[in-house]
Structure 1
Amino acid sequence: MTARRQGYALLSAIVALVVVLSTAIYVSAAAGHGRGHRHAGDAVVAGPGPHHAAPVSTGVWVGAWAAAPAGAEPGTAADGMAGRTVRNVVHTGVGGSAARVTLSNLYGDRPLTVTHATLAVAAHDDSPAAAPGTLRRLGFGGAAAVVVPAGGQAVSDPVAVDVPHDADILVSVHSPTSAGPVTYHPRARQTSYVAEGESTEDTSGAAFTGTTPYWRYLTALDVLGDEADGTVVAFGDSLTDGVTSTSGANRRWPDALADRLRAALAADGAPRYAVVNAGISGNRLLADDPRHGASGLHRFARDVLGRPRVKAVVIDLGINDILRNRTLADPQAIVAGLRTLVDRAHAHGVRAVGATLTPFRGHRGYNAAREDVRQQVNRAIRTGGLFDEVVDFDKALRDPYDPRGLRPEYDSGDHLHPSDRGYRRMARTLDLEKLSGSAPARL
């Protein structure tokens, strides 16, 4: 360790002791190659290195937001996002006193060099401007820059910042060079922003003149706090992704579930869980798709088990295996795939809740044979002992006069995806108390 680093280590320890004795919540000190120090809540101090915040508050790490990497963004193979700054806008389900992010280069074909990254609370909904005093530089292993290998990901160091629940957060990333195809989530239902050049510390948002309907590179925002004791993952396809929900309004069913859980904190028996969304539009349980992500079987470990303090998973997959199969899907294969996911969840002590597959009569992919497959899979979900609990999305959304189709007020209009009201109905169908409890021990 250099004399400079030893000096900063000693200074950090002294500051931490003083803050603890004076009952303050946080302390932060420059680390690595940086110079100077700041306390949480101060404006970002200029300097060549990152400014890290070492949280000393109590709590646990949970997922405040997540998006599963879905593929390589079309048109980015040559230049990626080289020389530009991406400002992702994401919405928190729970709040905390510290935060960290995960950046993914899963679909890049070269290393992704991130030279600058920041996190801030948005000044307003759907805005690239940062709330005063909330901008934090992100570091990675004590360094300002990080190189994410092709196919890999990187988790930032924690920074102390007051992250509210039910709020927009800005995560900005700059890379001077191309890593090839940009790893992205295409159906964000949220506007994010792009600036030319390095603009990660622009608090006004003025530099961010470009907009995008995608989330790029960013796949998780975790928080440290006491609002939740664990994370529940919503694992599914476009119905979980919320592709027909109102853009910018956070009305996907996992959003509505997070709202319910926050409102039920005072209720006896309701679990203190954060909710993260691991839905990918077009995703299948059994088959990989270059445009719609790895199969549920192949991505379960990363998108579910890899989340912090995961306690339960709600699995709603299989409808695309029926709709996108060029012949006729085998219901037994779908059921076997679901059973595999449950076994993997149980092996990690995670409770598995299974969702019945919802109606789609009137959709262009509907026919009687496919409807029969859906009914067979739903019977197995309801009565086959596959899951620890079952949430009957089919029963909740179907038209009582024609159970093969969606109830009109729950139909977005394409006869497959729900309306905002339908998504809200899905969230209300879940029995909150049944999300908690021990998973069966692995024999």
Structure 2
Amino acid sequence: MVGAGRVVVALLVCVLGAGVGEGTATAEGPVGRATETWTGTWEAAPSGTTPALPGASFRNVVHLGVGGSASRVRLTNRLGTAPLRLDAVTVALREAGPDAVPGSMWVATFGGARSVTIPAGEDLVSDPVPLAVPDGTDLLVTVHTPDDSGPATYHRTAGQTNYVAPQGNWAADVDGAAYTATTTSWYYVTGVDVLDAPAAGSVVAFGDSLTDGNGSTRDTNRRWPDRLAERLGTLPSSRRLGVLNAGVSGNRLLRDDVGPSGLSRLDADALSRSGVRVVILLEGINDIKGTPNATDPAAFEDAYRAFVSRAHAHGIRVIGATLTPYGGNSGYTAARETVRQEINGFIRGGGPFDSVVDFDAAVRDPEQPQRILPGYDCGDHLHFNDAGMGALADTVDLTALS
């Protein structure tokens, strides 16, 4: 299992990608300046691998919180086993479905080159793309894989319809007619940064399926980090931080399972991201209810301390979130509930955290506190519907993110 992985930042050269139908970009635009402040505005943490589709073009739909005067994309082969060759990567504003806004299509380059090979175990950041993006927009990030580079690193549970052209390099097509297949996973893309964002900073929501958005309505961006981004968007521009979703469905804090453990992926999915100021940590319920299950609250306390210590070493604050109820779920037992309550007592007491958000109190049923309030329950007694996701986000004190 690959651990945190290495992030290799491509040389930020002044030779930028050529805009399709828009001529050739020069260094006279918003990029190529002596000082550049990049902010993370979207993330999908790698969750595993799936068989590659050699020759296919993948059109990923990603929803940005804050915008900026230029953008760059983060691509990943972090969990792959062989070098990944991409011969086309494009970025465009989305019009509808797989169609791009005419005139917004740009080729992303890497050290000035249009094709790139990403070593196994690594991520790569593109050169700046001189495409200004507004707040709250959908971006299309399209990649073409010309041959079989081994298992594809992906984010399985996107909660978003994405598009696949099964054969051919259709990355630069504005018309999405070639994208005849769909997928609910994000392929090869793990982040988007923007230049000159209003507040020049971001917050990472770090966790498992509760953060990844399981239970919320697909294609509507109603995960609790999305709702948090909406709340931040109502603030004065100096406080509009980007929100990065580092949730991985099935992920554990203490051990590898679905994706590397929370502790082992911390650097790659949070600490190395652009402009991170604070991390909200909601993780541990899969360790309690999974197989094998963790029964010692002290192990969680040690893990939380290690998590916070590593974040503090990067000047990043950590907000600890209490673990939410799951009574009625198939993984629930009274003994496991005792462990959850002990862990929440540690979190509420402050532990090593800079501040605390009590998600448990926000969504539990007052009559049966081991259960989610029925109006927030998506039906499996573990995950939240759109209203529950909103309740989580609305509990976060925005002043704690400043």
Question: Shorter chain as normaliser: what TM range?
Answer: over 0.9
- For normalisation by structure 1, the TM-score amounts to 0.84
Q: Tell me the distance in 2 between the aligned counterparts of 1:304 and 1:64.
A: 12
Shift of 1:226: 3.2
Q: Tell me the distance in 2 between the aligned counterparts of 1:433 and 1:234.
A: 16
RMSD, aligned α-carbons: 1.9
- Mapping of 1:52-91 within 5 angstroms? 55-56=30-31, 60-73=37-50, 76=51, 80-91=52-63
- What runs of 5+ residues in structure 1 fail to find an aligned partner? 1-27, 437-443
Q: Tell me the distance in 2 between the aligned counterparts of 1:68 and 1:398.
A: 28
Aligned residue in 2 for 1:372: 338
Q: Tell me the distance in 1 between the aligned counterparts of 2:129 and 2:323.
A: 41
Instruction: Give the number of the structure with larger relative contact order, counting CA–CA contacts within 8 Å between residues 6 or more apart.
Output: 2
- For normalisation by structure 2, the TM-score amounts to 0.92
Aligned residue in 1 for 2:85: 113
Aligned residue in 1 for 2:201: 230
Amino acid corresponding to residue 62 of structure 1 in structure 2: T
SS at match of 2:72: strand
Query: Is this contact kept in 1: 2:364–2:371, CA < 8 A?
Result: yes
Deviation track 1:197-241 (CA, whole Å, cap 9, x = no partner) reads 000111011111111110000000111123222010000000000
Deviation track 1:410-431 (CA, whole Å, cap 9, x = no partner) reads 1111000011000001000000
Which of these residues, 167, 174, 191, is aligned with residue 220 of structure 1? 191
1:296 equivalent to 2:296? Answer: no
- Mapping of 1:19-98 within 5 angstroms? 43-45=21-23, 55-56=30-31, 60-73=37-50, 76=51, 80-98=52-70
Shift of 1:162: 1.7
- Mapping of 1:246-395 within 5 angstroms? 246-265=217-236, 271-289=239-257, 292-395=258-361
- Residues 287 and 349 of structure 1: CA distance in aligned 2, closer, same or farther (over 3 Å): same
Deviation track 1:117-144 (CA, whole Å, cap 9, x = no partner) reads 10000013xx110001100001000111
- Residues 277 and 327 of structure 1: CA distance in aligned 2, closer, same or farther (over 3 Å): closer
Aligned residue in 2 for 1:211: 182
Shift of 1:30: 5.3
SS at match of 1:371: helix
Q: Tell me the distance in 2 between the aligned counterparts of 1:427 and 1:330.
A: 29
Q: Tell me the distance in 2 between the aligned counterparts of 1:288 and 1:396.
A: 29
Amino acid corresponding to residue 67 of structure 2 in structure 1: G
Query: Is this contact kept in 1: 2:46–2:78, CA < 8 A?
Result: yes
Aligned residue in 1 for 2:98: 128
Shift of 1:386: 2.1
* Greater CA drift, 55-64 or 152-161: 55-64
Q: Tell me the distance in 2 between the aligned counterparts of 1:298 and 1:29.
A: 35
Q: Tell me the distance in 1 between the aligned counterparts of 2:205 and 2:294.
A: 27
Which of these residues, 197, 215, 239, is aligned with residue 168 of structure 2? 197
Q: Tell me the distance in 2 between the aligned counterparts of 1:343 and 1:81.
A: 41
Shift of 1:72: 0.7
Shift of 1:107: 2.0
Deviation track 1:41-64 (CA, whole Å, cap 9, x = no partner) reads x7244xxxx867652488721111
Q: Tell me the distance in 2 between the aligned counterparts of 1:231 and 1:165.
A: 14
Query: Is this contact kept in 2: 1:316–1:354, CA < 8 A?
Result: yes
Q: Tell me the distance in 2 between the aligned counterparts of 1:52 and 1:112.
A: 29
1:403 equivalent to 2:369? Answer: yes
Shift of 1:310: 0.6
Q: Indicate the percent of aligned positions where both proteins have the same amino acid.
A: 51
Query: Is this contact kept in 2: 1:29–1:51, CA < 8 A?
Result: no
Query: Is this contact kept in 2: 1:271–1:433, CA < 8 A?
Result: no
Q: Tell me the distance in 1 between the aligned counterparts of 2:381 and 2:14.
A: 55
Amino acid corresponding to residue 369 of structure 1 in structure 2: A
Q: Tell me the distance in 1 between the aligned counterparts of 2:177 and 2:399.
A: 46
SS at match of 1:110: coil
Amino acid corresponding to residue 383 of structure 1 in structure 2: G
Query: Is this contact kept in 2: 1:359–1:405, CA < 8 A?
Result: yes
Shift of 1:179: 1.2
1:159 equivalent to 2:129? Answer: yes
- Residues 233 and 29 of structure 1: CA distance in aligned 2, closer, same or farther (over 3 Å): closer
Runs of 4+ in 1 over 3 A off after TM superposition: 28-31, 50-54, 56-59
Query: Is this contact kept in 2: 1:240–1:279, CA < 8 A?
Result: yes
Query: Is this contact kept in 2: 1:106–1:153, CA < 8 A?
Result: yes
Structure ID, larger Rg: 1
